[in-house]
Structure 1
Amino acid sequence: MKRFLIYTAKIFIVILLIAIALDGLYTCIFLQSKNRGKIETVFNSKQQNYDVVILGSSRANNHFVSKMFEDKGLKTFNYGMSGGHLFEASLLLKLMIERKYSIKNVILEADLNLSSDHQAEGIAALFLPYIHNSQTIKKHFQTQENFNELYYVPFYRYIKFDAKIGFRETFFTAIHKKTNTLDNLGYHPLVKHKNGNMKNNIINLNPLPKNKYYEEIKNICRANNINFIAVMTPMCENVKGMNYFDKVKKAYPEIYNYENVVVENKYFSSCGHMNDDGSKIFTAKILKDFFDK
């Protein structure tokens, strides 16, 4: 029995050492990444100066045409992340401030995501390679149920989120394989699809009375003298439950409602995402209302 326990202990120690080594190797590779995604680009960056930073989900990523801001002389980058929630938008802004970004205006897409203060695991996972290298990231994740496993168990986060930060992503990061995420100053244009889902039902959706991460973003902007512009972006004409946007306006009166600026289906790729033509109409309206003064 004693020999068995010693043998088992040796196996455990070997596995632990391998996990520690792999954890260090993967992390080291991600610490060199600058051209694959928005999160690692910010984390591994130095001070930047922006007139406009755009934050939010895919409804920011696909709706704000960065070049139109640049054509107005406004240095801009669209940091919207498809699938992201306000949890990730808040953390990304914290990292920018930590790296002493100079930002004059933050435009936040704040509408559907106000209904939840949960993380979007697939996007939040992209911060995890740096959790031991950033007190900001560590503190942001500390309230999450699985924090202890993610932080204290070597290599666990890379196994759990293998699809996002596992071997494949680590390999492509190591060979500096680029993606199109950073193209078009972060804006991702969509086209009109024949089979696009042009129906949506948000009847049962309700904004939280006080979304924690929305409030964080607002407070960060206030503390750093950043002009904060929160907007609701358009949805197609077939949506059921459009009074959701009225609920948002009631709970957060400072948020500007632009959900009806573009409504015709021809300007949408799917019901919740405008195509490039629709996004240009919408962006022109934003520029006129906030930057042509």
Structure 2
Amino acid sequence: MKKFLFYIFKVFILTILIAVLLDGFYTYVFLQSKNRGKIETVINSQAQKYDVVILGSSRANNHFVAQMFEDKGLKTFNYGMSGGHLFEASLMLKLMIERKYEIKNVILEADLNLSNDQESEGVAAKFLPYIHCSKVIKDHFATEENFKELYYIPFYRYVKFDSKIGFREIYKITKGEKTNALDNLGYYPLEKHKNGNMKNNIVSLNPLPHNKYYEEIKSICKKNNINFIAVMTPMCENVVGMNYFDKVKKAYPEIYNYENVVIENKYFSSCGHMTDAGAKIFTARILKDFFNK
């Protein structure tokens, strides 16, 4: 019996050792990654200077044409992340501040995601390789239910989120494969598709009266003398429940409502995402209203 227990103990120790070694190897590889996505690009970067940083979900990623800002002489990057929530947008800004970025203006797409203060698991997972390398990331995840497992169990986060930060991603990093996430200064243009979903119902959606991560972003900007511009971006003309944007304006009067700047379906790839043509109309309006020199 003692031999059996000792054998089990050795297997346990060996398993822990392998997990620690794999954890260290995966983390090392991610710390070398600079061309696969916006998150690792910020984490592995040195101090940058920007006139405009754009944050938000896909409705930021697809709606703000960064090159149009650059054409006005404004150094700009679109850090909008498809599928992201304000949880991730706030963390991105914290990381930029941690890395001594100098930012004059932050444009935040703040509309539909004001209805929740949860993490977007698929996007948030991409921060996890660095949870032991950044106090900002550790503290940001500290209130999440599964924080202890993610932080203290070696290699657990890589196994749990294998589809995002597992072996396949490690392989692509080591091979030097790029993605299109950093193309067009972070802006991702969309085309008109015949099968695009041109109906949307947001009747049941309500903004939280106090969204923790929206308030964090606003507070960070104030503390670091960054001009904070929060906007609601357009949706197509078929949306049911457009009074949601009135609710947002009532709860957060400082947010600028641009949901009706572009409404015609011909300018939308899907009901919540404009085509490149629509995005250019919208961006031109933002530039006119906030950056007209």
Is this a same-fold pair by TM over 0.5? Answer: yes
1:256 aligns with 2:256: yes
Name the residue aligned to 1:267.
Answer: 267
**Is 2:43 the partner of 1:43?**
yes
Distance, in Å, in 2 between the alignment partners of 1:131 and 1:174 is: 21
* Mapping of residues 228-239 of structure 1, within 5 Å: 228-239=228-239
The aligned counterpart of 1:112 is 112
* Unmatched tracts of structure 1, length 5 or more: none
Letter in structure 2 aligned against 1:221: C
For 1:125, give the aligned amino acid.
A
Q: Which ranges in structure 2 are unaligned for 5 or more consecutive residues?
A: none
Segment of structure 1 superposing worse, 170-179 or 78-87 = 170-179
In structure 1, C-alpha distance between the alignment counterparts of 2:170 and 2:232, rounded to whole Å: 36
List aligned pairs for 1:134-149, cutoff 5 A.
134-149=134-149
Q: CA deviation at 1:205?
A: 0.2
Q: CA deviation at 1:175?
A: 1.8
Q: Higher mean Cα deviation, 130-139 or 3-12?
A: 3-12
Q: Deviations over 1:79-137 (max 9, x none)?
A: 00000000000000000001110100000000000000000000000000000001000
TM-fit CA distance, 1:255: 0.1
How far is the alpha carbon of 1:34 from its aligned partner?
A: 0.5
Secondary structure of the residue that 2:180 maps to in structure 1? coil
User: Which letter does structure 1 place at the counterpart of 2:31?
Assistant: L
Deviations 1:244-272 (A, max 9, x none): 00000000000000000000000000000
Partner of 2:202: 202
For 1:161, the aligned partner's letter is F
Within 5 Å, give how 1:18-167 maps onto structure 2: 18-167=18-167
TM-score normalised over the length of structure 2: 0.99
Counterpart Cα distance in 1 of 2:169 and 2:246? 41
CA RMSD of aligned residues (A): 0.5
Number of paired residues? 293
2-structure distance, mates of 1:6, 1:208: 55
SS across alignment from 1:32: coil
1:45 Cα deviation after fit: 0.2
Distance 2:45 2:241 in 1: 42
Quick one: which amino acid aligns to residue 7 of structure 2? Y
Distance in 2 (CA, whole Å) between partners of 1:134 and 1:100 is: 14
Separation in structure 2 between the aligned mates of residue 176 and residue 86 of structure 1, nearest angstrom = 30
Task: Measure how far apart 1:3 and its partner are.
Answer: 1.5
Partner in structure 2 of residue 178 of structure 1:
178
Task: Tell me, yes or no, if structure 1 residue 276 matches structure 2 residue 290.
Answer: no
Distance 1:200 1:5 in 2: 60
Q: Out of 115-124 and 5-14, give the one that drifted further.
A: 5-14
Tell me the distance in 2 between the aligned counterparts of 1:84 and 1:129.
Answer: 17
Amino acid at match of 2:55: L
Percent of residue pairs bearing the same amino acid type: 79
Amino acid paired to 1:145: E
- The letter for the 2-side match of 1:162 is D
User: Aligned to 1:52, what secondary structure does the other structure show?
Assistant: strand
> Distance between the aligned counterparts of 2:72 and 2:277, measured in 1?
19
